[in-house]
Amino acid sequence: MQTIAAAKNLHKVYRSDGIETPALRGVNLTITPGEFTAIAGPSGSGKSTLLHLMGGLDLPSSGEVWLENERLDDKNPVQRARIRLWKVGFVFQAYNLIPVLTALENAAFVLELRGLPPGERTERARAALAELEMEEFASRRPNQLSGGQQQRVAVARALAAEPAVVFADEPTANLDSKTGLALIEYMKRLNREKGLTFVFSTHDPRLLEHVRRIVHLEDGRVTSEEYKN
């Protein structure tokens, strides 16, 4: 079976002032194309760390990270950045929008880095904002948007690029029930119609109801998995 992302015996230890704090302890996880999967667990279980490693944003202390047929953890920062640009969409819990850009420009940012013509990237970014009911805020900058609105722009930025896999860190955490459910339905539709692969870190029961696979993480270890129809 084809693999789109994989973690192999991942360990991650954070060190500060001589103190070591293990975040991941030998995690193995394989994601196949078209999955709609959640990594669930209590705060501090290592969910965000695992997503960051699998997306090539950070390096493990030991173990291997693979994206399609490329190993990420042995690449230099420039090589990892290029792989992320073309293959990975990331939705950050802290939004990570560019303050001086409008919502539309933020949503189109990855497409601009890829070198798409201005008209095409604007059209795709505007369509993504419209799906998330954010088109009317396209000209606003992040400091003119609420937290939930910024989150929707961050999602639009990731999805407009239609990457091979989207890693989303608590994507519904700052959204009200109506907006959160609308976002989940939009991502489900992209998954169903375009085969876009999603991997979430979440403890939101609204999202856990809709995923097809839940990987339970506790104290940096995978404790169990469950599959749903």
The structural domains of the chain, with segments of one domain joined by +, span: 33-60+72-227
Q: For residue 98, is it left (φ>0), alpha (ψ between -120 and 50) or beta? A: beta
Q: Tokens 């722009």 map to which residue?
A: 153
Query: Which pLDDT value is given to residue 132?
Result: 85
Domain boundaries 33-60+72-227, corresponding CATH code: 3.40.50.300
Chain center to CA of 17:
31
List, for residues 169-191, the tens digit of each pLDDT value.
988 887 888 888 888 888 898 89
Query: Which pLDDT value is given to residue 203?
Result: 87
Four-point Cα dihedral 200, 205, 210, 212, nearest 10: 60
Helices (H) and strands (E) in the chain, counts: 8, 10
pLDDT exceeds 80 at position 229 = no
First vs last Cα of the chain: how many Å apart?
19
Query: Which pLDDT value is given to residue 64?
Result: 97
DSSP 49-116: HHHHHHTTSS--SEEEEEETTEESTTS-HHHHHHHHHHHEEEE-TT----TTS-HHHHHTHHHHHTT-
Q: For residue 112, is it left (φ>0), alpha (ψ between -120 and 50) or beta? A: alpha
List, for residues 31-89, the tens digit of each pLDDT value.
999 999 999 998 889 999 999 999 999 999 999 999 998 999 999 999 999 999 999 99
List, for residues 94-149, the tens digit of each pLDDT value.
889 999 999 999 999 999 999 999 999 999 999 999 988 899 999 999 999 988 88
Query: Which pLDDT value is given to residue 1?
Result: 66
List, for residues 7-21, the tens digit of each pLDDT value.
999 999 999 888 999
Q: Which residues contact 115 (CB under 8 A, 6 or more apart)?
A: none
The angle that helices 147-160 and 118-131 make with each other, rounded to 10 degrees, is 130
Query: Which pLDDT value is given to residue 226?
Result: 93
Query: Which pLDDT value is given to residue 190?
Result: 87
